[in-house]
Chains A and B, each alone.
Chain A
Amino acid sequence: MKRSTRLRVPAIAVVTTAALAVAACSSSSSPSSSSSPGSSSSPSSSSSAALTASAPGITATTITIGSHQPLTGPAAPGYSEIAPASAAYFAYVNANGGVYGRKIVYKYLDDAYNPTTTATVVRQLVLQDNVYAIFDGLGTPTHLAVESFLNAQKIPDVFVASGCDCWNQPSTDPETFGWQLDYIREGKILGQYVAKHFAGKKIGYFYQDDEFGMDGVKGLDDEIPHSMVVSRQTYVPTNVNIAPAVAALRASGAQVVVSFSIPAFTALLKLNGLKLGYSPTLVVSNVGSDPITLGGLLEAFAKQGGATVNGNQLTAGIITDGYLPTLGDTTNSWIALFKKVHDQYDAKAPFDGNVLYGEAVAYTFVQAMLMAGRNPTRADLVSAINAGMPQGPAVAPYAFSSTNHSGVTGAYIGVINNGVLVQEGSVLTTDTSATGPVTTYSGSEQPAPASGIPSP
């Protein structure tokens, strides 16, 4: 009898705690509008053949695509804005004639950045909702969980929201395509800058202990002499206690820390450094350096710890890179277009790097769909991208071909100043090989189409 009550109390306590923990799960920071299509569209004027249900997920009036996104959980801050931003651009396209008259229906499900959940929700999208393609599935470990499933099912798996070089395997995974600048190229571009501008200084690495971090370090090591690197520290996204790693960086005397981290961990790196009185020059990968996301996280984390900080002050001087135009460049036609779409369809979200990303990748999808033809099969979309795509919102061209499935090939170096990324120098391109040089891009950026919608 005694034993039984003794057991019951902890059991109930544990379950209650669990309920609270689950209920308190982190949520996305900003609300955003849904992707309901706008006013009805008129079919494209250049119609020749009737619109048919040419593939699963395609009807005469709609194209249904799906995605897995971290809408809750550790990766949600910042990244949860991406899918609503894509949906906003699709809503804009839907309201302006659609893709050959078809409206895009974008169904994105929360996987909380947990690979097992990704496996479930992607099966739901493919097996139950019959989506035409998986678009912009977010995350390296999460998307790896479904890459072989999607290829086995012959589902186009386009523009994965991750810079892992692993999406570029056309022979084994012909359906999968990257989009953003991959982390090896990014590492090389950042590495060249560091080697050139911080010669003689002690360099430390701080990176996520997975493909993301390791690809980035691979690129960095191609450009930064090993003798300069005094410390290599890693973190795993499930453990927020990075104090030991930061202490080790400080002890090594690293004057410059290159960080391949997601936004939350860039913020933690900065705050843990401050606690120790350690403020090295930070060089941060693109995915972990969006100034608005980072500033917000810094303020939120500091507040949890009972301190008040100015996010913009703390992000000032962070060196990073960008493969999309800078948000502050209001004269840029792409920024003007995406700002307009954002203001109309996704105004509740801040216009930051995540929103820009979501709209730009959605633009690329519409471009690919238009290239795939009026009544495309699933294979037509893959063939269209394999045939190469014209340069879009990114500052450098895509690498897409039948033998190369990586996306954007270059970026510029930028410095964060007062919460805004400022471009420094010209656009640099490179390849993923260890010996391929980092060169200045000679081509020019393409302006956005006046209609805001790509032409077929």
Chain B
Amino acid sequence: MTTRSLPRILGAALAGAVLVAILSIKLNAFRDYQIAEIAVEVTAVAGLTVLTGLSGQISLGNGAFMAIGAYTTALLQFHLNWPLIAVLVVAAAVTAVAGAIVGVAAARLYGPYLAGATLLLGVALPYLAYVYPGIFGGDQGLNVTYTAPGFLGVNFPLTRWQAWVCSAVALVTLVLLANLGRSRVGRNWRAVRDDEVAASLAGVNVARARVLAFVVSATCAGLAGALLAFITELVAPGAFTITLSIALLTGAVIGGLGSLLGAIWGSLVIVLVPTYATDVATSHGLSSSVASNIPVAAYGVVLILVMLIFPQGIQGGVQWLLGLVGISSARTGHTAATPGARPASGEVPSAPASQHEALSGRGVVPPGTPRLTRGGDPPEPQKKEGTQ
């Protein structure tokens, strides 16, 4: 089953790596920093989009998992001066454990109750930094200092190194998630999402599937948190407010819930829109009180527009547009390697399905994969029919 799609995933990841490498060398140091920021966002949003889109659970607390990863990084670097790669692994492991604990509780909750419980986590956990300032440095936080490795030369820009590391982690995360989504684990998640009773009758351990999804999502968030500490050189509670958790969910929804490519779109929007809006606002000589509010307004407008025009997120919109111009690889299975040009399969609706099915799965399952070969998955038409 994976014979054809795994090379395609790896090819796309490789293309992404080449793109990042070229961009990071062509662009200035600040753009490199933004690439790193986007990669951090992608890592976190990808985890969340899998949790919500595939396993059907919601989390408003992934910002807290990012905080766990970030503080783990800061403490390991500060006290033990561990190398970055070891710190990333441990930060991911620590957050995975935290995710398992939360996941056990979360597996018993649904819908708004789950949202409420994870919201509590997102709000409360960063407060520990204020409660134990001796360990976590209180409001001013902890400093994290990593320099670019010596073999790159003394004049190698730190931000380019940061862009490389973060993008590498993000791409590896995406590859693993894409693979996981198409594996038995991913099928179990979708089965549980669509009908728990049917899934358990079919032999799926529902509770385990739900907890596992939480662990995967938390691990991604923890990795993202560790990377955030690495690039901002600071871990402070002000960075992990509930706004962050909501921004992650926003990124997942804007991009297209359940779609890994959508996670990239969403991250681009979250990171770039405020910066561009600020640049535009200041370059037009608006008064500072107006200019300073343009970015948040632009963010809101983008959100509303995407929800109105592409309820399935940007990735859904991209696929719809590609469908309009007749680019579809559904029958041939040929796809381009670059994410932007990647068309989607299943463009021709073969059966009505719920909007949710249309929302989910796409992109996690590499487009172009013949649908019939994926055990038991319903066909996923591009346009929803029926529910509105």
A residues contacting B by CB (< 8 A) are: 1, 3-12, 14-16, 18-23, 25, 27-28, 30-34, 36, 71-72, 80, 83-84, 87, 107-110, 113-116, 119-120, 123-124, 127-128, 140-142, 144-145, 148-149, 208-211, 236-238, 348
Contact = CB atoms under 8 A, between A and B. Distances in A.
Contacts of A238: 237-238, 241
B194 A32 contact: no
A138 to B, nearest CB: 13
Contact of A124 (B30, B130, B141, B304): B30
Given A3-B196, A128-B29, A28 B234 contact: no
Given A1-B194, A5-B356, A6-B111, A210 B28 contact: no
B140 A7 contact: no
B194 A4 contact: yes
Given A120-B33, A124-B275, A149-B233, A31 B290 contact: yes
Contacts of A16: 307
A176 to B, nearest CB: 14
Contacts of B231: 119
Contacts of A4: 56, 193-194, 354-357
14 contacts: A3-B195, A11-B58, A12-B253, A18-B247, A18-B250, A25-B296, A108-B288, A110-B278, A110-B295, A123-B33, A127-B28, A127-B33, A141-B141, A236-B127
B31 to A, nearest CB: 7
B337 interface: no
Contacts, number: 195
B138 A209 contact: yes
B138 A210 contact: yes
A34 B236 CA distance: 32
Contacts of B295: 110
Contacts of B57: 7
B287 A31 contact: yes
B288 A83 contact: yes
Contacts of A80: 288-289, 292
B299 interface: yes
Interface in B279-293: 282, 285-293
B110 interface: yes
Size category, B interface:
35 or more
A7 B58 contact: yes
A84 B56 contact: no
Most buried by B among A123, A140, A148: A123
Nearest to A113: B238
Contacts of A208: 139
B228 A34 contact: no
Most buried by B among A5, A33, A115: A115
A209 B139 contact: yes
Nearest to A211: B140
Interface string B209-235: 000000000000000000010011110
B60 interface: yes
B289 A31 contact: yes
Nearest to B57: A7
Contacts of A83: 288
Contacts of B130: 209, 236
B37 interface: yes
A107 to B, nearest CB: 7
Given A10-B112, A27-B289, A127-B33, A140 B159 contact: no
Given A5-B354, A6-B110, A127-B29, A71 B234 contact: no
A114 B238 contact: yes
B234 A144 contact: yes
Contacts of A11: 52, 58, 249, 253, 257
B115 interface: yes
Nearest to B157: A127
B1 interface: no
B237 to A, nearest CB: 8
Given A7-B58, A25-B293, A148-B145, A32 B288 contact: yes
Contact of B141 (A28, A115, A127): A115
Nearest to B138: A210
Given A23-B296, A116-B238, A210-B138, 9 more contacts: A4-B357, A11-B257, A19-B299, A22-B299, A22-B300, A36-B285, A110-B278, A209-B139, A211-B139
Contacts of B17: none
3 tightest A-B CB contacts, nearest first? A4-B356, A71-B292, A128-B30
A23 B300 CA distance: 6
A119 B37 CA distance: 11
A28 B111 contact: no
B140 A140 contact: yes
